[in-house]
Copies of this chain bind each other. A is one copy, B any other.
Amino acid sequence: MADYKAPLKDIRFVMNEVFGVEQLWASLAGTKDTIDIETADAVLEEAGKITASLIAPLSREGDEEGCKWNEGVVTTPTGYKDAYKTFVEGGWSGLTGNPEFEGMGMPKMVGAQYEEMLYASDISFGLYVCLTSGASLAIDAHGTEELKQKYLPKMYSGEWAGAMDLTEPHAGTDLGMIRTKAVDNGDGSYAVTGTKIFITGGEQDLSENIIHLVLAKLPDAPAGPKGISLFLVPRNSVDENNVVGENNNVTCGSIEHKMGIKASATCVMNFDGAQGWLVGELNQGLNAMFTMMNYERLSVGIQGLGAAERSYQNAVAYALDRIQGRAATGPAQPEKAADPLIVHPDIRRMLMTMRAYNEGGRAFSSYVATYLDTAKYSDNAEEKKHASTMVALLTPIAKAYLTDRSLDCCIAGQQVFGGHGFIREWGQEQLVRDTRITQIYEGTNGIQSLDLMGRKIVANGGKFYELFASEVSSFIEAEADNADVAEFVAPLSAALERLSDVTEYVINSFADDRNAVGAASVEYLELFGLTAYAYMWTRMVKAAAPKVGSDEFYASKIKTAKFFFSRLLPKTVSLAESVRSGSEDMMSLAADQF
């Protein structure tokens, strides 16, 4: 496997030249006095170094060794414990944490770039850190002042880790069916009892304590999703001086044997009257969870981006090094026995596809981050609301579209290696296995699509969609006389029109057909994702075009944009046609005929 190189040049291009974060941060009440571009840049520079030098080298062996379970004790692979200690001592666990409780207070825009580097180095390792950030976020947003004081500083420092306990054996997507119970102890705490599965980092040997956020129901709670509450349950109890004590009846029953992310412990967790504290309101647990979900889901999208970037870098190194066959236009290296793979158009097709999706994905996740940050840091109510709405609309796309393209890119990167791509030591097949989970957890991509098509589009009659469409339309109008982007604006405009038409089609169909949403959703999300990437690519061209003479980087940006538009964007046509076929042919077969 090639050494990982953090793509800092492209990250800076996106942040500074495409999205102008300096101006953005200066304009937001919550960042203008606290965040400056130099600090952020130094943080990212350091993130690039530590992920590449400390974490990336663990990934291959971590996959081979995997996690071990023995009588409730989980052991992570060799090297993880030391690396975790060094890493969290750098403060990375609290990078975007609340400064009131000793977090570093960096905006999501910085967090998103850091996460890409972390996940590109090793998804398994990254999960231990990022689950803690996610759990902290929920506690910060919904916990009492007491809970925050007690837990957040220790979690930001990484001394204690976090875990999210949602799924049960019979209840995954359908959380309304969970059976874990919480009984009021009468002292402000609850006794939590039940079994949770698929708990990432539910147990490990990295941190002194693990703080579980557990979905459970009170005995008298309403049935279904409206009776679910969220509880903070530390694995080990913590006394008033924050000294970690005995096990709080929280045990790991086993770990799963999985396709990938083998160095990440996926745990069955048993709660046997464990003492817990309510986070947020009673029966509002799903709401409390979902506050954090927008961050987590973007984060999972970025996991996919990280794996895809790693796959691209490895494939490029191999394509430049491996000689096989001759260029169709005549020998490129006549002095050698063969030419490097990179002379072959089909190898180029795979590399350019990966590049176009990855750079588009990096821009798109950063774009979502600008709205997450605006929603969080603006003091203008209207701006805040607009940004929150955009986050709600774009988040399922960020999660599903980035991870679906990640699988494509990891498969393509593996294919570049030919037979060697199937061999474990080269690392390409691990990326396929690792990234595959990103399409499944944190709400499957099918569920993301339903969330987009149902809740975010059809439920409000397309109002959220109109915000996106009018933003893109305004951009198109504003650039009408910009010769730099002219060749891209026309197809962007056509794609947007296609997306708008299809949006209307589905909204209208739903009036007569309850299955219309589910029938359209996956292809609709892909169509939306492609259109959004076309918008990102046009914005990148706008930023790059004036500087083409100064640095080959900018010329390459334009060339990659051309590839995206000519080769990948045409898929919108067939996706639209597939959506328009409706639900009938999908639903007509009798269940017993399958």
Contacts and interface: CB of A to CB of B under 8 A. Distances in A.
Given A177-B338, A258-B424, A570-B578, 19 more contacts: A172-B418, A177-B337, A258-B429, A259-B424, A328-B515, A329-B514, A346-B449, A346-B518, A346-B519, A346-B521, A349-B586, A351-B594, A352-B585, A355-B594, A415-B445, A418-B444, A432-B436, A567-B581, A573-B573
Interface in A515-556: 515, 517-519, 521-522, 552-553, 556
Given A433-B433, A574-B572, A440 B422 contact: yes
Nearest to A510: B328
Contacts of A206: none
A105 B367 CA distance: 64
Contact of A440 (B418, B515, B591): B418
A324 interface: yes
B567 A586 contact: yes
A265 to B, nearest CB: 14
Contacts of A340: 591
Contact of A586 (B198, B258, B345, B444): B345
A164 interface: no
A61 interface: no
A310 to B, nearest CB: 14
A571 interface: yes
Given A419-B172, A589-B559, A429 B259 contact: yes
Q: Which 6 A-B pairs give the minimum distances between C-beta atoms?
A: A345-B518, A566-B581, A259-B429, A570-B577, A574-B574, A328-B514
A348 B172 contact: no
Given A423-B257, A424-B259, A345 B440 contact: no
Given A172-B324, A566-B581, A345 B422 contact: no
Contacts of A445: 415
Contacts of A419: 167, 172, 197-198, 440-441
Interface residues of A, number: 98
Nearest to A259: B429
B586 A348 contact: yes
B440 A329 contact: no
B566 A174 contact: no
18 contacts: A174-B324, A256-B422, A258-B424, A259-B432, A319-B594, A328-B515, A342-B591, A344-B518, A345-B521, A346-B449, A415-B439, A418-B440, A429-B436, A553-B593, A556-B590, A567-B586, A570-B581, A574-B575
A320 interface: yes
Interface SS, A side: helix
Nearest to A355: B594
A49 interface: no
A191 interface: no
Contacts of A198: 419
A594 B444 contact: no
A450 interface: yes
A457 interface: no
A437 interface: yes
A587 interface: yes
A583 B567 CA distance: 10
A436 B330 CA distance: 32
Nearest to A591: B342
A407 interface: yes
Interface in A323-353: 323-325, 328-330, 337-338, 340, 342, 344-352
A432 B433 CA distance: 9
A436 B415 CA distance: 10
Interface string A165-180: 0010011111001000
Contacts of A170: 323
A102 to B, nearest CB: 34
B440 A320 contact: no
Nearest to A552: B593
B348 A587 contact: yes
A433 B259 contact: yes
A230 interface: no
A173 B573 CA distance: 35
Contact of A562 (B316, B572, B585): B585
A260 interface: yes
Given A562-B588, A574-B570, A577-B573, A583 B440 contact: no
Nearest to A441: B419
Contacts of A273: none
